[in-house]
Structure 1
């Protein structure tokens, strides 16, 4: 987020593939949990008990105790648990594509030629796609020899610790997607990395749907916590946020967390056929006005304070011009028709937003970017919650809708997406301040919606169980408007 007053700016807030090597960028995150709404299903779109048409289910996720034996061998394996998991993952993904490819793409499906494992901490002279693997903490697909390789020493164990077995499986399903791209003709050596990565995200989503439907003989995936953890793993491979002056800005892009999760969800919801539609034009439409790089020397972080909260609320008033703007308080008060949802609460009876500044500041805290399990943290994890409470006031003024049920939770997520897009443009306030989102802010919002759910909750702070549904609703708003949110989540 950025704030400018009287012309003075105050800022808030891929590994590049080799010639024929496509890799996945690793910055790991951990998913948390949200409160769960109890109640009845609400509609085909806003049903908290369904995920992309499937029941939202609890249950185990990961390698089955009675898993079918693997069909592939691994070169340079240490015969440990991680390589066995990877071996099973590739075997399973191949079984999916063996049945899916013929009905989706032209020609005959060809399995990858070889699988290679290495330990990035090992000085051993192991080569992958023309490079040595010492310090290569990654996984990749090599087009030259049609090989998939991975680091068993650092990357895959970290993924497994953070997200369980399915974090590893998702990563390798993504890499296998690159093989499918080349053999189907969707991708060539000259294709942009951005398109290649998001098509592969989509293909991993199509495979994960197959697993979630119970078709896999090796893995299970629950559509609640299991799928939430997979989405967190997808978010972890987002591009780093760069400044305009950075010489690598705009080069070899893989995509923001918002973009990569969107691509994954397309595949999960619509199947492998949907991956055909991802190209530069489609990605550009999804980006719209959202900023992709920070101004030079900017951090993209606006420290939480009473002044910053007032500035953002005033900017929202400018953007939405409600006839009865909500009041703003910084001390707790009794609300007769809603429970508190700290650190920001909305009371419909009094039309007031109450902010717990220390709590909001804690929500905005950034973790060390060098942390092996860092997530997309920062100011907009907090400010997106503030926006969501303002959008509950917009719902109250709209009338005709409940504010305390599952529909309201997803409608709030959707309208928070609308507010996010509005504030991506410079928004003046009555006090002479200009507020604008910066690069990285939308990823922080997406991470918060997945991990704590507050920006996708009802007036009592209750969220639906599916992080997939929460993010999907948010995207509807980012790409739409208020009318679309009210119609879809009615």
Structure 2
């Protein structure tokens, strides 16, 4: 993918140098499957153990608070999040190449959907994309590496820990810049659904659905986001910036993160009623359908067989 030298979006919020304390309370985020890189908070039992240790050390005359401050555990107060004075995670500079790549892909989705919405007589509002490392609060709850990339309708933002790209390569065998771009375009696809009123209707309807029926509807929503990502891919191809093998990278990524493939990999068998993103074959089919036609009307997964 020949992305260098192209316009970069200003809608990037780089929070990789921030350590969150607390998080949002909402729900209903639409995540990319395959997370599982760390994450998680302290259990009640762990907190009790830490309190006991604290009391024992204090009884022994150890200045625990002073020790924590010296080691950098306590810095800058106790509300909001701590802003690091260094660059992003892993010592990466604020304008590292990976960030530039994400900003370029996001800009390309902005151009694509602005044009499509304009052709329909509508106005497309760009989403924000939050880069974080480890975890970060969102309106849909705590964004973490364990959840994978996701879109939050509550604040109209895409959340991305770029460590997921390494997981795609190392754990799922889905490497390449266009595979990574597909992940971003998929989450932006959820924003498009939000703008079109599809997500609000789905969120309202699933409140009265059984878990099995809600999963079936979720599959259709996710496959539509794949199709919308394919539409973006079509417009990218028309700009002449795709290279040999790029489409295959995206299709391989879709194949590797299908519900059936993920379940076989993790537990050795599949449970179709628990699928909420679609099978590998379905995900490949709908991305390819959007890529081949470039038409929004061909992405109606809600009223057609998937």
What band does the TM-score fall into relative to the shorter chain?
0.5 to 0.7
Instruction: Report what 1:127 is aligned to.
Output: 137
Superposed displacement of residue 135, structure 1: 4.2
- Aligned with residue 156 of structure 2, among 136, 146, 150: 146
Please say if residues 202 and 267 of structure 1, whose CA atoms lie closer than 8 Å, have aligned partners that are also in contact.
Answer: yes
SS in 2 for 1:97: helix
In 1: Cα distance, 2:138 partner to 2:98 partner? 19
Find the aligned partners of 1:281 and 1:198 in 2 and give their Cα distance.
12
Q: Is the 8 A contact 1:195 1:278 kept in 2?
A: yes
Seen in structure 2, the aligned counterparts of structure 1 residues 261 and 159 have a Cα distance that, compared at 3 Å, is: same
Match of 1:330 in 2: none
Contact 2:15–2:133 (8 Å) recurs in 1: no
Tell me if the contact between 2:149 and 2:187 (Cα under 8 Å) persists in the aligned partners.
yes
Alignment map for 1:231-380 (pairs within 5 Å): 231-240=251-260, 249-279=272-302, 281-283=304-306
Q: What is aligned with 1:118?
A: 132
Deviations 1:70-108 (A, max 9, x none): 33232304223323321221111111111112224x632
In the superposition, relative to structure 1, how do residues 63 and 247 fare at CA in structure 2: closer, same or farther (>3 Å)?
closer
Give the equivalent residue in structure 2 for 1:205. Answer: 230
Residue correspondences, number: 208
**Counterpart residue number, 1:323:** none
Q: So what's the TM-score if we normalise by structure 1?
A: 0.39
Question: What's the CA shift for 1:167?
Answer: 1.3
Residues 281, 74 of structure 1: alpha-carbon distance in 2 compared, 3 angstrom cutoff:
same
Quick check: 1:63 aligned with 2:77?
Answer: no
Instruction: Provide, for residues 198-236 of structure 1, a one-character-per-residue CA deviation record: whole Å limited to 9, x for no partner.
Output: 111001111111111126xxxx213x4121111111112
| Rg larger in structure | 1
What is residue 107 of structure 1 aligned with on the other side?
Answer: 122
Task: Give the whole-Å Cα distance in 1 for the aligned partners of 2:8 and 2:197.
Answer: 31
- What is the CA-CA distance between 1:126 and the residue it aligns to? 1.9
Deviations 1:147-180 (A, max 9, x none): 101112x212344774322111111101001111
Separation in structure 2 between the aligned mates of residue 117 and residue 82 of structure 1, nearest angstrom: 11
1:176 is the counterpart of 2:188: yes
Distance in 1 of aligned mates of 2:167 and 2:138:
21
TM-score, length-scaled by structure 2:
0.61
Q: Is the 8 A contact 1:267 1:274 kept in 2?
A: no
Tell me, in whole angstroms, the C-alpha distance in 1 between the residues paired with 2:176 and 2:248: 11
RMSD of aligned Cα (Å): 2.6
What corresponds to 2:15 in structure 1?
76
Instruction: Tell me the distance in 1 between the aligned counterparts of 2:97 and 2:230.
Output: 24
Residues 373-452 of structure 1 mapped to structure 2, 5 A cutoff: none
**How far 1:276 sits from its partner (Å)?**
4.1
Partner of 1:141, secondary structure, is strand
CA distance 1:160–1:129, change in 2 (3 Å): farther
Q: 1:344-403, CA deviations, whole angstroms, 9 ceiling, x for partnerless residues?
A: xxxxxxxxxxxxxxxxxxxxxxxxxxxxxxxxxxxxxxxxxxxxxxxxxxxxxxxxxxxx
Instruction: Give the Å deviation of 1:142.
Output: 0.2
Q: Could you tell me which residue of structure 1 aligns to residue 46 of structure 2?
A: none
Q: SS at 2:160's partner residue?
A: strand
CA distance in 2, matches of 1:214, 1:177: 20
- What is the CA-CA distance between 1:133 and the residue it aligns to? 3.5
Aligned to 1:195: 220
- Please name the residue that 2:245 is paired with: 225
* Runs of at least 5 residues in structure 2 that lack an aligned partner in the other structure: 17-87, 89-93, 207-216
Partner of 2:166: 157
Point out the structure with the larger helix share: 2
